[in-house]
């Protein structure tokens, strides 16, 4: 019996292995991203190609077609695994010939630099001559009777409020004013609209604006913008004597065309959820569009290139969408949002960039409070890169339709003090973009995408 008992072996318990979780070192990863972009980044070279070799890329033009071909190639070079086009119906609006002249009581006709509003009706190439009527603010406009306005060309000299330090806020306040609405002016009986350009600059360069007509407008009047110097001189003249204006515009619509959103992505290793980066590929028809939004385009591509170059294993699919028809319609952004809704794709985050290639300062966060708080916890990682502002809440137009799908939105916030000097003007050229500032914006964007991918 004793032999039997002592011969039994006790079941040995296997020692439990201590599992060690390797903590992801975010400061180290941020440094790797910064080093890669600042030493090997291709964004500045790509921007030179887009602006100098292709140039203006307005919707429904050969310039935009060339830009889409260029974008496909650049996404491929960056390492995108899937690249495809999304057809978008866009308006064919042709600016044509345009001119504005003014004449005082005893003077000769003087040419004034001008730009037609995008999508504005023209004058059928004929002279539209009328007395000018000065308006400075909304109370003054509201006080005018139809008899006072009838058959006049209204001149609105309402500058951006220079006291507003955030120039994006200053611009949006002015841009949304009904003073600048051709429909509001037209319903009072006016024949045309001239506005002071929405710019922080003090030169005489006109800055374009898109027109919005109301569906019940009986007559769609033509509208143009003029430079700051001309606007101030014209106001001084109008306060002394009567002034006539002669407007001639051959601007017209010629139906619709098909352009494309260009989309490229690197697939998620964990799931099919999507993180999207968005920028507009088109520009106005008269400008290189270097800051608006060539910088954003090349920064989005640079994010993909950097993640691939570092061998980063992304959890979610990281997708770049380069939108068509942002400047004179917005059809590209609406098409992409419709696609996401129809496919029922799960998007965890959308990041846009459309404020120029200036030094990054933070991210505007248009999302639920609990999501904002999560991002606030990451601020210390960004501070060494000069990125500190996470308090703003607006989102750029190109990703804004995704808000209806409850997708958290963010935009790269940059130092915009010079942005509206060049915005929507012939001066928005490659030489106005600083290489290091452009690359630092791409650094901050890549860092944000890393944080979202790892934590959401």
pLDDT in tens, the chain (456 residues): 344 443 444 445 555 544 444 567 999 999 999 999 999 999 999 999 999 999 999 999 999 999 999 999 999 999 999 999 999 999 999 999 999 999 998 889 999 999 999 999 999 999 999 999 999 988 998 899 999 999 999 999 999 999 999 999 999 889 888 889 999 999 999 999 999 999 999 999 999 999 989 988 889 999 999 999 999 999 999 999 999 999 999 999 999 999 999 999 999 999 999 999 999 999 999 999 999 999 999 999 999 999 999 999 999 999 999 999 999 999 999 999 999 999 999 999 999 999 999 999 999 999 999 999 999 999 999 999 999 999 999 877 899 999 999 999 999 999 999 999 999 999 999 999 999 999 999 999 999 999 999 999
188 and 337 inside one domain: no
Is residue 449 within 8 A of residue 277, CB to CB? The reply is yes
Asked, for residue 11, whether it belongs to a domain, the answer is no
Q: Are residues 60 and 138 in the same domain?
A: no
Residue 284 sits in the same domain as residue 386 = yes
Asked if 279 and 419 sit in the same domain, the reply is yes
CATH code, domain carrying 180: 3.50.30.30
| Number of domains within the chain | 2
Q: Are 238 and 384 in the same domain? A: no
* CA pair distance 253, 250, nearest whole angstrom: 10
If asked whether residues 187 and 62 sit together in one domain, one would say no
Given 250, 281, 300, the domain boundary residue is: 250
pLDDT in tens, 252-301: 999 999 999 999 999 999 999 999 999 999 999 999 999 999 999 999 99
What would the 3-class secondary structure string for the chain be? CHHHHHHCCCCCCCCCCCCCCCCCCHHHHHHHHHHHHHHHCCHHHHHHHHHHHHCCCCCCCHHHHHHHHHHHHHHHHHCCCEEEEEEEEEEEEECCCEEEEEEECCCCCEECCEEECECCCCCCCCCEEEEEEEECCHHHHHHCCHHHHCCCEEEECCCCCCCCCCHHHHHHHHHCCHHHCHHHHHHCCCCEEEEECCCCCCCCCCCCCECCCCCCCCCCCCEEEECHHHHHHHHHHHCCCCEEEEEEECCEEEEEEEEEEEEEEECCCCCCCEEEEEEECCCCCCCCCHHHHHHHHHHHHHHHHHHHHCCCCCCCEEEEEEECCCCCCCHHHHHHHHHHHHHCCCEEEEEECCCCCCCEEEEEEECCHHHHHHHHCCHHHHHHHCCCECCCCCCCCCCHHHHHHCCCEEEEEECCCCHHHHCCCCCCCHHHCCHHHHHHHHHHHHHHHHHHHHHC
Cα–Cα distance measured from residue 106 to residue 432, given in angstroms and rounded to the nearest whole number: 42
Is residue 6 assigned to a domain?
no
Which candidate, 301, 328, 330, places its Cα nearest to that of 424?
A: 328
Q: How far apart are CA 377 and CA 15, in angstroms?
A: 38
- Record the tokens describing residue 89, joined without a space: 């119906």
Residue 18 lies in a domain: no
The answer to whether position 3 is within a domain reads no
On whether residue 5 sits in a domain, the answer given is: no
Closest CA relative to residue 249, chosen from 287, 215, 211, 280: 211
Please state, in angstroms and rounded to a whole number, the distance separating the CA atoms of residues 108 and 243: 11
CATH code, domain carrying 322: 3.40.630.10
User: 172: exposed, middle or buried (C-beta count within 10 Å: 0-12, 13-18, 19+)?
Assistant: middle
In a domain, 2, yes or no: no
Of 186, 216, 250, the domain-final residue: 250
Q: Are 450 and 386 found together in one domain?
A: yes
The number of C-alpha atoms within 13 Å of 382 and in the hemisphere containing its C-beta is 27
**Domain end position, chosen among 231, 250, 269:** 250
In-domain check, residue 1: no
Q: Are 248 and 156 in contact (CB under 8 A)?
A: no
CA angle 35, 38, 43 (to 5 degrees): 135
Q: Are residues 416 and 290 part of one domain? A: yes
442/297 same-domain check: yes
Query: For residues 116 and 248, is the Cβ–Cβ distance under 8 A?
Result: no
How far is it, in rounded angstroms, from Cα 347 to Cα 301?
19
Which domain covers residue 228, as residue numbers?
A: 96-250
Specify the pTM. Answer: 0.92
Q: Is residue 265 located within the same domain as residue 409? A: yes
Contacts of 418 (CB under 8 A, 6+ apart): 200, 356, 358, 432
Sign of CA dihedral 455, 296, 47, 63: positive
Give helix 26-40 / helix 435-455 axis angle, nearest 10°: 150
Do both 338 and 406 map to the same domain?
A: yes
Q: Same structural domain for residues 166 and 52?
A: no
**In a domain? residue 280:** yes
CA–CA separation, 329 and 325 (whole Å): 6
Instruction: Pull the structure tokens for residue 244.
Output: 């006539």
């Amino acid at each position: 019996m004793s032999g039997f008992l002592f011969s039994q072996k006790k079941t040995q318990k296997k020692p439990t292995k201590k599992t060690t979780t390797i903590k992801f070192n975010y400061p180290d990863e941020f440094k790797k991203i910064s080093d890669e972009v600042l030493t090997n980044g291709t964004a500045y070279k790509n921007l030179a190609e887009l602006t100098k070799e292709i140039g203006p890329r307005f919707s429904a033009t050969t310039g935009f077609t060339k830009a889409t071909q260029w974008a496909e190639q650049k996404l491929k070079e960056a390492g995108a695994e899937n690249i495809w086009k999304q057809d978008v119906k866009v308006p064919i609006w042709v600016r044509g010939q345009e001119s504005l002249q003014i004449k005082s009581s005893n003077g000769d006709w003087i040419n004034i630099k001008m730009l037609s509003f995008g999508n504005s009706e023209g004058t059928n190439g004929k002279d539209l001559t009328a007395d000018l009527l000065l308006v400075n603010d909304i109370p003054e406009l509201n006080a005018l009777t139809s008899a006072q306005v009838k058959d006049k060309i209204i001149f609105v000299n309402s500058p951006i409020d220079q006291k507003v330090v955030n120039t994006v806020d200053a611009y949006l306040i002015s841009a949304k004013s009904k003073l600048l609405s051709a429909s509001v002016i037209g319903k009072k009986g006016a024949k045309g609209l001239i506005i002071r350009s929405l710019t922080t600059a003090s030169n005489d360069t006109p800055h374009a604006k898109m027109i919005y007509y109301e569906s019940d407008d009986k007559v769609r009047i033509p509208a143009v913008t003029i430079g700051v110097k001309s606007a101030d001189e014209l106001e001084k003249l109008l306060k002394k004597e009567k002034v006539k204006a002669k407007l001639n515009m051959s601007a017209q619509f010629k139906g619709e065309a098909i352009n494309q959103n260009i989309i490229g992505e690197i697939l998620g290793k964990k799931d099919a959820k999507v993180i999207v980066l968005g920028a507009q590929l088109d520009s106005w028809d008269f400008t290189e569009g270097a800051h608006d939004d060539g910088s954003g385009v090349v920064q989005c591509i640079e994010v993909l290139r950097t993640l691939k170059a570092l061998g980063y294993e992304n959890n979610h699919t990281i997708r770049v969408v380069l939108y068509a028809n942002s400047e004179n319609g917005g059809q590209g952004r609406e098409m992409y949002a419709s696609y996401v809704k129809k496919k029922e794709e799960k998007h965890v985050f959308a990041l846009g960039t459309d404020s120029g290639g200036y030094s990054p300062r933070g991210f505007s966060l248009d999302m639920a409070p609990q999501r904002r708080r999560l991002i606030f916890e990451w601020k210390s990682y960004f501070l060494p890169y000069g990125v500190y502002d996470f308090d703003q809440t607006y989102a750029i137009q190109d990703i804004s339709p995704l808000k209806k799908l409850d997708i958290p939105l963010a935009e790269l916030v940059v130092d915009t003090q010079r942005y509206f000097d060049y915005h929507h003007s012939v001066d928005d050229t490659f030489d106005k973009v600083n290489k290091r500032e452009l690359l630092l914006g791409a650094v901050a964007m890549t860092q944000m995408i890393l944080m979202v991918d790892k934590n959401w």
